[in-house]
Amino acid sequence: MIRHIVANAFTLMIVGLIGLAIVISSGKRSFFAEGPLDAPICFRVAQGATLRAVSAGLAREGAIRSEQVFRIGAQYTDRAGALRFGSYLIPDGASMDEIMDLLTRGGASTCGAEIQYRIGVTRIDTLVRDLDPATQSFQVVMQFSAEEDPPEEYLAFTQQSDVQYRITVAEGATSWQIWEGLRLAEFLSGDPGDIPREGWLAPDSYAVTRGTDRQELLAEMEARQEQILTQLWENRIEGLPYTSPEEALIMASIVEKETGVADERRQVASVFVNRLRIPMRLQTDPTVIYGVTQGRGSLGRGLRRSELDTVTPWNTYQIDGLPPTPIANPGRAAIAAALDPDDTPYLYFVADGTGGHTFSTTLADHNRAVARWREIEAELRQQQGN
């Protein structure tokens, strides 16, 4: 009798162990198998969230089939206590293992809101963008000038602990414009200090966090520009009519302000290089404008004859050679153009009505191009009047 009972108990134990093994094997397959999501989602892990709360949230979003399997799998893979708060893009079909990897890997959030602060040549804008999981692209949900009071909805975004901040500086912005833009940025901290040297701040995109120090950010911009200039100066072509990286930076800033067409930068640089070699005065309006504004905002109108006739260190109609400082902060492409210009015979250029320019070798050809541009201007004014 006792032997019979022991045999039955042993049999039941074996069956139980087999059943447990089947359950474990099934759970393991489920944890690593393709998940039920048929479209990407943004999933937010709140600061201090528990594994149970996260698994429940994922189940509500339809990202996992079993909360229990998700928790057991997290414990089995030693990641149960490694959740990182933030917003994460979970792709369609992601397995529980892949989801757990996303939520514990750390680093910047891959989904959710981004506040992009854009320092341009004529204005400073704040854009609030949200990632659309379906297209995996950011959509602008709010935009306003930095000089305006932020709308109440903006404050709600800033209170999200995982919101991302990015400052974008446009090529051709002056050091004062960048300095002023950082001073107005409510999410930065600290006194910006003195206005940095003109031309020595790299136009680029900078990821920051709330509370980033303004002087530290300006120092990073300057270090990045110095690195770019040093690298490109080492690879410059021979025979350029300037003898130092500083002079190359001045030329690059003029090129930056003269054209917004990427393919024209090296041609524009060739015109000014050819003029310096003759020598011939540069005669470029952006330098005259800088002499009037000192880089503190845009002129907002055409130059007056009196301004063209007034001698300033930056009036290249009145002075020989380069002005004493850059007139803006040039980007990498403009610096590269100044240090490796096209080999052309051009000495002149004028707008052609398409956003680009007509380049000429002789004054007669240039005057014809100027006359054509005047006709285009008149046609544009007439169209606007209608």
Amino acid identity, position 3? R
Q: How far apart are CA 207 and CA 224, in angstroms?
A: 14
Encoded tokens for 103: 């939520």
Residue 197 DSSP code: P
* 3-state DSSP assignment of residue 1: coil
For residue range 270-313, what is the model confidence (pLDDT) as tens digits?
999 999 999 999 999 999 999 999 999 888 888 999 999 999 99
pLDDT for 358:
94
What the chain holds in terms of domains, given with CATH numbers, is 28-104 (3.30.1490.480), 113-229 (no CATH), 235-346 (no CATH)
Strands 348-351 and 137-145, sheet pairing: unpaired
| pLDDT at residue 20, as a whole number | 47
Half-sphere exposure of 58 (CA within 13 A, CB side): 35
- Whether residue 279 is preceded by a cis peptide bond, meaning omega within 30 degrees of 0, is yes
Distance CA 86, CA 99 (A): 13
For residue 90, the tally of other CB atoms under 10 A from its CB is 23
> What per-residue confidence (pLDDT) applies to 25?
55
The contacts of residue 172 (CB under 8 Å, 6+ apart) are 121, 203, 256, 257, 328, 329, 330, 331
Output the pLDDT for position 213: 97
Which H/E stretch holds residue 331?
none
User: What does DSSP assign to residue 146?
Assistant: T
Low-confidence residues of the chain, pLDDT below 70? 1-27, 106-110, 134-136, 160-162, 386
Q: What are phi and psi of 277, to 5 degrees?
A: -75, -25
DSSP, res 328 = S
pLDDT confidence of residue 153: 82
Q: Please, is 71 exposed, middle or buried when counting C-beta atoms within 10 Å of its C-beta (0-12, 13-18, 19+)?
A: buried
Nearest to 357 by CA among 294, 267, 270, 276: 267
Full-model pTM: 0.77
Q: Are 75 and 117 in contact (CB under 8 A)?
A: no
